[in-house]
Amino acid sequence: MMNREHFARKIPAYFDGTLSESERTELESFIGSNREFADYFKLKQTEYNNLKNSIPHFSFTSEAQNQIESELKEVIENLFHAETSNVIEKFSSWVKEKL
């Protein structure tokens, strides 16, 4: 029973990926050798996987997508335009210096 509680407490950390290599191996070995605990582990695994379903997924409407894409294209355009203007300005200053 003590063993079972000890390993049951390790399950959340196992899913979080915070157990050390040796602790993982110990837990997996216990799961493999204890049928009842393996069933309990599967139950916890299902609960853990269900957490993903509690993260909201909002539909990305085509209208919203088009709006955002158009604004992002403008941002990219402005970036290149600013750099081109910068280059032209620098070239003009260089030419003025030379003349």
60 contributes a contact to other proteins by CB under 8 A: yes
16 contributes a contact to other proteins by CB under 8 A: yes
12 contributes a contact to other proteins by CB under 8 A: yes
Query: 55: which DSSP letter?
Result: S
CB of 81 to other proteins, least distance (A): 10
d(CA 66, CA 70): 6
Q: With contacts defined by CB under 8 A, name the span among 9-17, 19-27, 35-43, 88-96 that binds other proteins.
A: 9-17
Sign of torsion, CA 48 54 59 65? negative
Residue whose C-alpha is closest to residue 28's, from 5, 49, 51, 11: 11
CB of 88 to other proteins, least distance (A): 13
